[in-house]
């Protein structure tokens, strides 16, 4: 997959490039908004990592112009500012995620993977982790080729884990994104569903990790299969 990294700080670009290339991404760099727009006009990218605070043309304006050219490209914004207004403004422009500086390069890569995974599910409607398969057209899950019967919420929970592989998810995030903001349950709802989901998945259940004092994280280890 090809990633466009736009940041006026060369050190940031170098670090992001290093970690992305270690994960087999092809990286193209832009040092300002105008260069990024020019590159988008010439080439196709699977995702863009965009800094906000840049001279001449900031990240917000750059994203706005890019979305007018190719609206479907996912965007992660980087910013030293973590104010709610800045995040909301970014999401209003159609960005997919917002990462506040200083950031963990490993976490940034995980977020890139999560967004491209969601894009793959939306495009292909199926996703596999070894012999664990989720078919989003048939709304089915199979383990070792055998159909597994899940409740609708267990299915949605598994799909959300797939879409956010390697990212630690709080129980609040899971409640909000799987059950909805108007749900008035508590943490025990998440814990109960994770427990039964693990049981249904058999040996694959061990890839839903408990993150102490946070929540849960899905991490598939291909070497174990």
Contacts for 97 with CB less than 8 Å, ≥ 6 apart: 76, 77, 111, 115
Label residues 90-111 b or e (16+ Cβ within 10 Å = b): beebebbbbbeeebeeeebbbb
Domains and CATH numbers, the chain: 2-118 (3.40.50.2300), 125-224 (1.10.10.10)
Low-confidence ranges of the chain (pLDDT < 50): none
Q: Which two tokens stand for residue 43?
A: 């080439």
pLDDT of residue 101: 86
Structure-block tokens of residue 133: 């398969």
Alpha helices in 93-132 (DSSP H): 105-124
Give the pLDDT of residue 151. 92
CA pair distance 56, 58, nearest whole angstrom? 7
Measured distance CA(105)–CA(18) in Å, rounded: 9
What pLDDT does residue 224 have? 62
Per-residue pLDDT tens over the stretch 33-68: 999 999 999 999 999 999 998 988 999 999 999 999
Q: Is the pTM of this model over 0.75?
A: no
Which pLDDT belongs to residue 120?
67
Residues pairing with 76 in the sheet: 49, 97
CA pair distance 194, 102, nearest whole angstrom: 32
Task: Report the pLDDT value the prediction gives residue 165, as an integer from 0 to 100.
Answer: 86
Q: What is the pLDDT of residue 71?
A: 85
């Amino acid at each position: 997959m090809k990633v466009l990294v736009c940041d006026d700080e060369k050190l940031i670009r170098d670090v992001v490039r290093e970690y992305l290339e270690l994960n087999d991404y092809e990286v193209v760099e832009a040092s300002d908004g105008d260069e990024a727009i020019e590159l988008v006009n010439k080439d196709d990218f699977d995702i863009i990592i965009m800094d906000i605070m840049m001279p001449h043309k900031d990240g917000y304006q750059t994203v706005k112009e890019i979305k007018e050219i190719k609206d479907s490209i996912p965007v992660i914004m980087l910013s030293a500012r973590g104010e709610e207004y800045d995040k909301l403004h970014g999401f209003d422009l159609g960005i997919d995620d917002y990462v506040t500086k200083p950031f963990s390069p490993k976490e940034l890569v995980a977020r890139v993977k999560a967004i491209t995974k969601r894009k793959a599910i939306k495009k292909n409607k199926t996703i596999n982790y070894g012999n664990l398969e989720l078919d989003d057209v048939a709304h089915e899950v199979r383990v070792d080729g055998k159909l597994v019967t899940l409740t609708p919420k267990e299915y949605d929970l598994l799909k959300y884990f797939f879409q956010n592989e390697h990212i630690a998810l709080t129980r609040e995030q899971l409640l909000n994104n799987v059950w909805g903001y108007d749900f008035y349950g508590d943490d025990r709802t998440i814990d109960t569903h994770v427990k039964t989901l693990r049981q249904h998945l058999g040996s694959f259940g061990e890839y839903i990790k408990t993150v102490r004092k946070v929540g849960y994280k899905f991490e598939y280890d291909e070497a174990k299969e």
